[in-house]
Amino acid sequence: MDKFIIEGGIPLNGEVHISGSKNAALPILCSSILADDICTYTNIPALRDISTITEVLSTLGMGIERPCNGCIVIDPRTTSSYEAPYELVKSMRASILVLGPLLAKYKKAKVSLPGGCAIGVRPIDMHLKALTKMGANITLSHGYVMAFTEGLKGTRIVFDTPTVGGTENIMMAASLAEGTTVIEGAAKEPEVVDLAYALIAMGAQIDGAGQSTITIDGTPSLSGLEYRVIPDRIEVGTFLIAGAITKGDLILKDARADHVVAVVDKLLEMGVAINQREDGSLHVDGKHDLLPVQVDTVPYPGFPTDMQAQIMALACITPGTTSITENIFENRFMHVPELVRLGGRLEEKGHTVIVQGVEQFQGASVMATDLRASASLVLAALNARGLTEIRRIYHLDRGYENLDQKLVKLGARVRRERGGL
Ligand code: EPZ
């Protein structure tokens, strides 16, 4: 398995292009199942998770072509299977996003239950309950979700707590259901909104995406489309922190500032200088003293759980006491012991981690455990005195496109070593 060797203590400087959003691309690629014609997507990041979902769609019999960098062309007209196998789903929970579209379009689906992942059990009970209310017959058998329907019907769905994937699955299913579906307690993430815009481009009737109540009037069919997905807001947040943690000076091109307001506000509170330039790019100047803050992860538009590990790395080299509380997932502190190995002073207290700032991280050998934990370790390594070895970097390759190359272009000393344990 690949590892990174990083020599830290070097301020990053220069321009970085933000890639397309993984968490927008995944549901949007699944929505092609609903289409009657060719779907062309651009700004799709080259990531392992994207390869996995296109493999799932190919397993369903759909035609997949990659005519250029960042483009994917899907032909749904050759769909011949309705089963997403365990071998693929086990490696990526988002594969469950084929369930709603398959049921809506073909009235049947067999999708492996997603394995839990490092950050928690991550059930899909809210997805299944909502689809059942829309007229799906769902049973769980031998680790698979077996689902069929005489035809999905629009209804009122109330989510007790926001679920991004649940909102996306139901929005896709409702687009071809008979009648009107109202989703209350919907997730408001930009990726949900981007999916809604893609569905509307296919002819879906959707109102209210981005708010807590979304109304979908089902249509008999949906056309193909050409669509460009939004930039990745978590990559934006990660590079803002890279600028801060190395006391560097970065320009983030193709960033959507309106998608990262909570992250920018929190970093400004910490003393990081961030501004938006005329051309829309984001400028971060990390040469200012940092101040401790309190961070609570909450659903969008609040501070995102996907930035929790990254801001924890910055908190480790912020003088004073910072507290970080994870309210979305039950086990998203796998990066804590690794940050301790790098010299961080952290103490877990239930869902909260108390961080006492130190001067600088110290290089060490550490292990990546999940996608955003890996990003946190890279950020810490970029700050650290000496060399850091980060093993199992495949976690990072799931969600960051060419991160090592982007960092090297900014002056970082990062080397990828292939193979090994
Ligand atoms: C999406 O996951 C993202 N993944 C996650 O990003 C992100 O952390 C998460 O939303 C929260 O923002 C993609 O978009 C592909 P949820 P999702 O359904 O949809 C519980 C990354 O790093 N829940 O909003 O799986 C669940 O266990 C990834 O890019 C149920 O209990 O998240 C969790 O505690 C990690 N039952 C909470 O709700 C359900 O039926 C939020 O989950 C569904 C969810």
Residue closest via CA to ligand 1's atom 15 equals: 23
| 119, 159, 328, 397: residue to mutate for ligand 1 pocket, most atoms within 8 A of CB | 328
B/e letters for 292-306, b = 16+ CB within 10 Å, e = fewer, are: bbebebebbeebbbb
* Number of helices followed by number of strands (H, E) in the chain: 14, 24
* Catalytic residue positions, numbered: 117
CA 120 to ligand 1: nearest atom: 27
**CB of 403 sitting under 6 A from ligand 1:** no
pLDDT in the model for residue 355 = 98
Q: Is 92 in the pocket of ligand 1 (CB under 6 A)?
A: no
pLDDT, residue 93, reads 86
Distance of CA 281 to the CA centre of its chain: 21
Percentage above 90 pLDDT, the chain:
93
The CA distance from 242 to 250, in Å, is: 9
Q: 3-class DSSP state for residue 44?
A: coil
Other C-beta atoms lying within 10 Å of the C-beta of residue 189: 25
Which residues on adjacent β-strands are paired with residue 7? 387, 413
Q: What is the mean pLDDT of the chain?
A: 96
Element containing residue 375 per DSSP (H, E): helix 371-383
What pLDDT, in 10s, does the model give residues 36-78?
999 999 999 999 999 999 999 999 999 999 999 999 999 999 9
pLDDT for 11 beyond 80: yes
Residue nearest to atom 37 of ligand 1 (CA): 328
pLDDT more than 70, % of the chain: 98
Collapsing DSSP to helix, strand or coil, 16 comes out as strand
Q: Is the pLDDT of residue 322 over 90?
A: yes
The interaxial angle of helices 22-31 and 164-175, nearest 10 deg, is 30
User: What is the model's pLDDT at position 155?
Assistant: 98
How is residue 41 annotated by DSSP? Answer: E
**Which two tokens mark 46?**
């080259």
d(CA 208, CA 199) in angstroms, rounded, equals 13
372 lines ligand 1 (CB under 6 A): yes
* CA nearest ligand 1 atom 28, residue: 306
d(CA 62, CA 74): 7
- Enter the pTM of the model: 0.97
Mean pLDDT computed over 276-303:
97
- At residue 418, the pLDDT reads 87
Q: Is the pLDDT of residue 397 over 70?
A: yes
**Residue 399: what pLDDT?**
94
* pLDDT greater at residue 86 or residue 261: 261
User: In testing the pocket of ligand 1, which one of 21, 22, 23 has its CB within 8 Å of the most ligand atoms?
Assistant: 23
Write the pLDDT tens digit of every residue in 338-382.
Answer: 999 999 999 999 999 999 999 999 999 999 999 999 999 999 999
Q: How far is the CA of 162 from the centre of ligand 1 (A)?
A: 9
Amino acid at 178: E
Tell me the two tokens of residue 173.
């299913």
Contacts with 43 (C-beta within 8 Å, 6 or more apart), sequence order: 19, 20, 70, 228, 229, 230, 231
State residue 91's pLDDT score. Answer: 79
Q: How do residues 87-135 score in pLDDT, each as one tens digit? A: 888 878 899 999 999 999 999 999 998 765 566 666 899 999 999 999 9
Nearest CA to ligand 1 atom 18: 163
For residues 112 and 95, the answer to whether their CB atoms sit within 8 Å is yes
Lowest mean pLDDT among 267-271, 319-323, 395-399: 395-399
pLDDT of residue 115: 66
Please state, in angstroms and rounded to a whole number, the distance separating the CA atoms of residues 377 and 352. 19
Q: Which of 21, 122, 171 to mutate to test the pocket of ligand 1 (most atoms within 8 A of CB)?
A: 122
> Does the beta carbon of 124 sit less than 6 angstroms from any atom of ligand 1?
yes
Report how far ligand 1's centroid is from the alpha carbon of 387 (Å).
34
How far is it, in rounded angstroms, from Cα 231 to Cα 23?
10
Provide the pLDDT for residue 120.
64
Residue 421 has pLDDT above 90, yes or no: no
Segment 244-259 mean pLDDT = 98
Q: Is the CB of 164 under 6 A from ligand 1?
A: yes
Sequence-ordered list of residues with C-beta below 8 angstroms from that of 83, at least 6 positions apart, any chain: 59, 60, 109, 110, 111
**Cα dist. 409→399, 403, 406 in Å?**
19, 10, 5
- Spacing, Cα 327 to ligand 1 middle (Å): 12
